[in-house]
């Protein structure tokens, strides 16, 4: 899962270094259709920018296949308590459809409830992985980004393939339709040793996750270009071979948010391709 895990940050979901999908081997294990819930709490908090407390919930659903496309729906409601002033509640909703055959990602994000903060459009890969972006909301408009880029499910597949090949690092440029629909990230992942079973949270100890290989991943997301730069945020989680993301920690420097998987449910699989 690489989608918006706090309002305004992607989703979302995540040695060799690759900058395009073709630079890494392709994962052979199909991703499973599933839905999951993650309970959010404040982890570490330092300094004036850190909230006093955080409570929230992520609801995530994934389905599809390489031939039918990969569909995701995501909702996160987060309440931030500050040491001074009133609490703030963020309600973020995201839907995407990623079509590998067409090299296209369709997306809609709503960060303001109802029609407020609505961004919708599509991005299609061209020569060299460059992106042609067409926005339909909040107003029609076109943009282009020099590639190459990976879409979220594509990135997860290549990250898992790198882990299965015994690689310890992985990098790619990510586009997921977040923010104003024109934003992209440079990502860099550190991949840990393969594990099976023994997950800390009960939801991850149920079938089929209890017997599915997984790798601890720490993924940093950078939006600045050039020079020495710190990540906008860093996500740490266990990534399962079947595409499921386990419990997460999102690090913003001044504070962290911990998201414990509290529910996991496999869904009916999509029809096989071909």
- Which DSSP state fits 9? B
Report the pLDDT value the prediction gives residue 55, as an integer from 0 to 100.
95
Q: Is the preceding omega at residue 266 within 30 degrees of 0, hence cis?
A: no
The pLDDT score that the predictor gives to residue 72 is 96
Q: The whole model's pTM is what?
A: 0.87
Whose structure tokens read 């989608």? Answer: 3
Strand-pair partners of 36: 60, 264
Cα dihedral 155, 161, 163, 167 sign: negative
pLDDT in tens, 86-115: 888 999 999 999 999 999 999 999 986 555
- CA nearest 104: which of 87, 121, 117, 80? 121
User: Does the pLDDT at position 213 exceed 50?
Assistant: yes
Domain boundaries, the chain: 21-266
Q: Give yes or no for residue 10 having a pLDDT over 80.
A: no
Beta strand residue intervals within the chain, DSSP E: 34-45, 53-65, 69-81, 88-99, 104-110, 118-125, 131-137, 141-145, 169-174, 185-191, 214-222, 233-240, 245-251, 255-266
Q: What is the mean pLDDT of the chain?
A: 86
User: In the numeric block, which tokens belong to residue 56?
Assistant: 């929230």
CB atoms within 10 A of CB 259: 25
pLDDT band at 28 (very low <50, low <70, confident <90, very high): low
Contacts of 28 (CB under 8 A, 6+ apart): none
pLDDT tens digits for 217-255? 999 999 856 656 789 999 999 999 999 999 999 999 889
Interacting residues of 202 by C-beta distance below 8 A, sequence separation 6+: none
């Amino acid at each position: 899962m690489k989608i918006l895990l706090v309002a305004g940050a992607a989703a979302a979901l995540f040695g060799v270094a690759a900058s395009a999908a073709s630079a890494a081997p392709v994962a052979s294990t199909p991703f499973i259709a599933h839905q999951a819930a993650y309970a959010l709490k404040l982890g570490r908090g330092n300094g004036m920018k850190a909230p006093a407390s955080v409570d929230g919930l992520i609801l995530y659903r994934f389905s599809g296949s390489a031939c039918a496309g990969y569909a995701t729906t995501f909702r996160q409601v987060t309440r931030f308590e500050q040491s001074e002033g009133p609490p703030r509640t963020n309600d973020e909703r995201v839907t995407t459809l990623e079509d590998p055959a067409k090299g296209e990602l369709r997306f809609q994000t709503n960060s303001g409830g109802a029609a407020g903060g609505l961004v919708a459009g599509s991005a299609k890969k061209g020569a060299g992985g460059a992106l042609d972006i067409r926005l339909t909301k909040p107003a029609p408009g076109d943009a282009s980004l020099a590639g190459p880029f990976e879409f979220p499910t594509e990135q997860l597949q290549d990250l898992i393939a790198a882990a299965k090949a015994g690689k310890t690092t992985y990098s790619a440029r990510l586009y997921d339709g977040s923010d104003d629909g024109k934003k992209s990230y440079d990502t860099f992942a550190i991949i840990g040793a393969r594990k099976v079973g023994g997950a800390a949270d009960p939801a991850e100890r149920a079938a089929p996750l209890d017997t599915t290989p997984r790798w601890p991943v720490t993924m940093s997301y950078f939006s600045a270009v050039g020079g020495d730069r710190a990540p906008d945020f860093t996500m740490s989680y266990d990534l399962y071979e079947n595409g499921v993301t386990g419990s997460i920690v999102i690090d913003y420097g001044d504070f962290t948010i911990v998201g414990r998987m509290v529910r996991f449910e496999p869904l009916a699989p999509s029809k096989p391709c071909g």
